Each structure stands twice: as C-alpha cells, then as structure tokens.
Amino acid sequence: MDGLNGPDAAASRLAAAGWRLPAPPVPRGAYAPYHLASLHGATLVCVSGQASRRDGMPIVGVCRPGADLAMARTACAQAALGALSALRLACAGDLGRIRAILQLRGYLRSEADFEEHSAVLDGASQVLEAAFPHMPRPARSAIGVTSLPGRCWAEIEISALLEDCTLPREAGAAKE
C-alpha cells in the first residue's frame, strides 16, 4: 500500500490536523459499536451512535440561537472521532480499507428554535475530510433533539463501505 492508503495514513492525517482517535468505544447499552454486512466485493459497516465524549467524559452542552457555534462544532468533531475509532475497530485497525463514507448522521442537543444544525455538524464533516481528503462527501443528516445520553452535546453515526473482508466473530459481527 502507498502512503496515502496505508493502515495508519488516515490516523496520521488526523494527527496532522490536530486530532487524535480515542480508544475504541465501549457500548453503553444493548448494541454493538458497529455492524458489518458482506456485499459482493465490499462490506457495509454501520457504526452505532457515538456521543461527544473526551477520555470517556461527556462533552455537555445545548445549541442555542445566537450562541457561538465553535464549542458545539468541537463536540461534533470529538463524536466523529469516536465514530471513526469504532470504524477502525470494524476495519481490524486499518482505516485504509475504507472505500467510501456513505452517510454521516448527527444528533444535536438543541433548543426548539435553534436553526444552525448544519453549521454545527460541519465539525464532524471536517474530521472526515481530514481523514479521507480524496473521498466524495457523504450524504448527511443533522437532527435537533432535546436530550442525548449523558447530556452530551452531539451524537454521530457513520455508514461506510469497506473493501471486501471476512466478518469477525466479535461484538460487531452479525449473529447467524
């Protein structure tokens, strides 16, 4: 593999942009951190929602009209890093196996009259663009909610397409 797609290339690009992937997420409920589905020549992986946490501690906040969005974007970026960490786990440690990020979904704790959801979710998009600068942008949804686990500011879900692989018999593998 070349330097653009090696096992640590995406993590290196994130580090160069000032971000680091946290430890893989530990589920906080009855779900797996990801789900893999084998397709002809590719594998679909859907990462469970990852809340805005740094070193396991919730990044708490609420999006309010007229408020500075920088901290909310940072919370989204941190949640995206958690989702990429789960994705790296699904890729057996090799983010270079990702062929496309298909969808990015962001849930933002916000007041009812907040309208800048897309601008806040740009924090997560920036993380994906730093990790995978040559990939097209994914489909994206930004959704305002009144609460999230741990009062976290944001929760991010990612669906991606990987090069074909053998499904692991771990927490993220589909049961037969």
Please tell me the predicted confidence (pLDDT) of residue 175: 43
In whole angstroms, what is the distance from residue 73 CA to residue 10 CA? Answer: 21
Structure tokens at 119: 């601008």
Whether pTM exceeds 0.85: no
One-letter amino acid of 85: S
Query: Tell me: the pLDDT tens digits for 37-78?
Result: 777 888 999 999 999 999 999 999 999 999 999 999 999 999
One-letter amino acid of 67: A
Query: Tell me: the pLDDT tens digits for 2-22?
Result: 456 677 889 899 999 999 989
Structure tokens at 35: 């789900």
Please tell me the predicted confidence (pLDDT) of residue 172: 55
In whole angstroms, what is the distance from residue 22 CA to residue 47 CA? Answer: 15
Query: Tell me: the pLDDT tens digits for 83-134?
Result: 999 999 999 999 999 999 999 999 999 999 999 999 999 999 999 999 999 9
How would residue 24 be classed by pLDDT, with cut points 50, 70 and 90? confident
- Alpha helices, DSSP H, located in the chain: 9-16, 70-90, 117-131
